[in-house]
C-alpha cells in the first residue's frame, strides 16, 4: 500500500499531541474511504504524498486539540451561535463575490480560512491582524499561480468555504484531490453528525471573538441542506444561480488547477464528466431538501443580477434578512465591488470542449434546474 492506514494516522496524531480523544462524530469511516479512494483513484505523482498525507494528519491533530481545549475551557459549550446566514448554490455563480461583500459588515462573524486551518487556540478579538496563522495564510495565497488569482477572489478576512472544518470530520467534498470514489460516497453520506461537530468547532472559534451572527459561504452545502439545518435550526439561505453551461466548465477548469500534480497526463475529460454529474446530483438533492426545509428560508440571487446591479442585490439581501445596512458599511461594500468587478484580476478562459463537454449537453442535463429557477441562458 502506498498510503498509510487510518489507524496509523490516528496513532501518529496521538503521538504528536499527547492527546487521545478525537471527539464526537463519525469521522473514521470518511477517513478510511478517502484513503482508499486516493489509493484506487488517485493519479498523483509520488512527490505529492508528504503534503497530501500531512494535511490529513494535521486535521486529526486539530481534532485532538479541539477536544483538549474543550476540557480545559468547558465554558465554550455555552457560547452562543446566532443565525447563520448561509450562501450556497452551484459554484462559480457569485457566491464568493456576495460573501466577500457581506463580510465587510462588522455585524457578521466570518468563518475565515486561516482560523479553520488551525482552530486552536481560538482567535482573540483585536488580535487577529497579528495572528501568525493569518500571516501564514496570506503568504500561502500569495504563492498561488496568476491563473488561479484570475479565477477566484481571495480576501483573507472574508468568510470562506468550511473545507477545513468538514475536512476535520472527513466528510468534506474534497474537491482538492482526484478522488471520485470518495465523492460518490460523500454525496450519499449522512452529514448530521458532521454538522453537529461543525457547530462545535464554530463555537470554539467564536468563544473569544464576537459577534455571534455567523456568515457562512459554501457551494457544497447544497448537497446536505437538511443536515446543516439540523445543526443550525435558525439558518437562512441565500442561493445563487447561473447558466450551468458556464458553471460546469468554469468549475472544472478551477478544480484542475487545484489538484496536486499527476504522475502522468491527467484525463481532463473524465474530470469534466465527473464534475458535471457531481454538481447535477447536488442540485437535484438541493431542490428536494429545500422544499422540505421551507422555501420561506431561501432567497434566490441570479448571477446576471449581481453583475448588472450589485447595489440592488445587496440591499435586497439585507431587506430579506431584516438587517440594517449602515451607510458607512454600504460605502465600503460598494467600493470593494467597484474594485473587484468580473475580470479585474485577469481573464479566466475555458471552454466546455476542453473537458469533453458541450454547451448543449450541459443545458440538457440541467434543464430541470434552469426551468425551476428561470435561470438566464448566457450567450
Q: What is the pLDDT of residue 379?
A: 82
Closest listed residue to residue 348, CA positions, set 190, 118, 153: 153
The 10s digit of each residue's pLDDT in 2-52 is: 999 999 999 999 999 999 999 999 999 999 999 999 999 999 999 999 999
73: cell is 475551557
Res 289: pLDDT: 98
CB 351 within 8 Å of CB 116 = no
The torsion angles phi and psi of 78, rounded to 5 degrees, stand at -95, 5
Q: Under DSSP, is residue 31 helix (H, G, I), strand (E, B) or coil?
A: helix
For residue 47, count other CB atoms closer than 10 A to its CB: 10
Q: Which domains does the chain have, with CATH numbers?
A: 6-373 (3.40.50.300)
pLDDT at 147 over 60: no
pLDDT tens per residue, range 200-242: 999 999 999 999 999 999 999 999 999 999 999 999 999 999 9
* Band (144; pLDDT cuts 50, 70, 90): low
Give exposure, 150-187, as e/b (b: 16+ Cβ within 10 Å): ebbebbebbbbbbbbbbbbbbbbbbbebbbbbbbbbbe
Nearest C-alpha neighbor of 87 from the set 35, 15, 161, 155: 161
Q: Is the pLDDT of residue 149 over 70?
A: no
Amino acid at each position: 500500500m502506498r498510503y498509510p492506514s487510518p489507524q496509523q494516522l490516528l496513532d501518529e496524531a496521538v503521538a504528536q499531541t499527547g492527546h487521545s480523544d478525537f471527539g464526537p462524530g463519525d469521522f473514521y469511516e470518511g477517513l478510511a474511504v478517502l484513503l482508499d479512494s486516493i489509493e484506487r483513484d488517485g493519479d498523483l505523482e509520488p512527490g505529492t504524498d508528504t503534503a497530501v498525507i500531512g494535511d490529513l494528519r494535521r486535521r486529526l491533530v486539530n481534532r485532538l486539540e479541539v477536544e483538549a481545549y474543550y476540557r480545559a475551557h468547558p465554558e465554550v459549550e455555552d457560547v452562543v451561535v446566532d443565525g447563520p446566514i448561509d450562501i450556497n448554490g452551484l459554484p462559480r455563480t457569485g457566491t464568493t463575490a456576495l460573501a466577500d461583500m457581506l463580510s465587510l459588515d462588522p455585524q457578521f462573524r466570518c468563518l475565515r480560512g486561516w482560523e479553520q486551518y488551525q482552530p486552536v487556540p481560538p482567535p482573540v478579538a483585536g488580535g487577529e491582524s497579528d495572528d501568525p496563522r493569518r500571516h501564514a495564510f496570506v503568504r500561502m495565497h500569495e504563492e498561488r499561480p496568476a491563473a488561479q488569482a484570475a479565477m477566484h477572489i481571495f480576501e483573507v478576512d472574508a468568510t470562506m468555504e468550511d473545507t477545513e472544518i468538514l475536512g476535520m470530520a472527513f466528510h468534506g467534498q474534497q474537491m482538492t484531490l482526484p478522488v471520485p470514489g470518495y465523492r460518490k460516497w460523500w454525496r450519499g453520506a449522512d452529514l448530521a453528525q458532521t454538522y453537529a461537530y461543525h457547530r462545535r468547532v464554530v463555537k470554539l472559534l467564536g468563544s473569544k471573538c464576537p459577534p455571534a451572527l455567523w456568515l457562512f459561504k459554501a457551494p457544497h452545502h447544497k448537497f446536505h441542506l437538511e443536515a446543516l439545518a439540523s445543526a443550525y435550526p435558525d439558518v437562512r439561505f441565500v442561493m445563487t444561480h447561473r447558466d450551468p453551461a458556464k458553471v460546469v466548465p468554469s468549475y472544472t477548469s478551477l478544480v484542475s488547477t487545484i489538484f496536486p500534480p499527476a504522475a502522468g497526463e491527467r484525463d481532463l475529460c473524465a474530470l469534466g464528466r465527473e464534475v458535471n454529474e457531481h454538481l447535477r446530483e447536488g442540485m437535484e438533492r438541493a431542490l428536494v431538501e429545500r422544499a422540505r426545509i421551507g422555501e420561506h428560508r431561501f432567497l434566490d440571487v441570479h448571477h446576471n443580477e449581481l453583475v448588472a446591479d450589485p447595489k440592488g442585490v445587496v440591499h435586497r439581501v439585507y431587506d430579506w434578512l431584516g438587517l440594517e445596512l449602515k451607510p458607512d458599511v454600504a460605502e465600503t461594500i460598494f467600493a470593494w465591488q467597484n474594485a473587484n468587478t468580473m475580470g479585474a484580476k485577469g481573464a479566466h478562459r475555458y471552454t466546455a470542449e476542453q473537458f469533453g463537454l458541450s454547451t448543449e449537453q450541459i443545458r440538457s442535463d440541467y434543464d430541470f434546474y434552469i426551468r425551476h429557477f428561470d435561470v438566464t441562458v448566457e450567450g
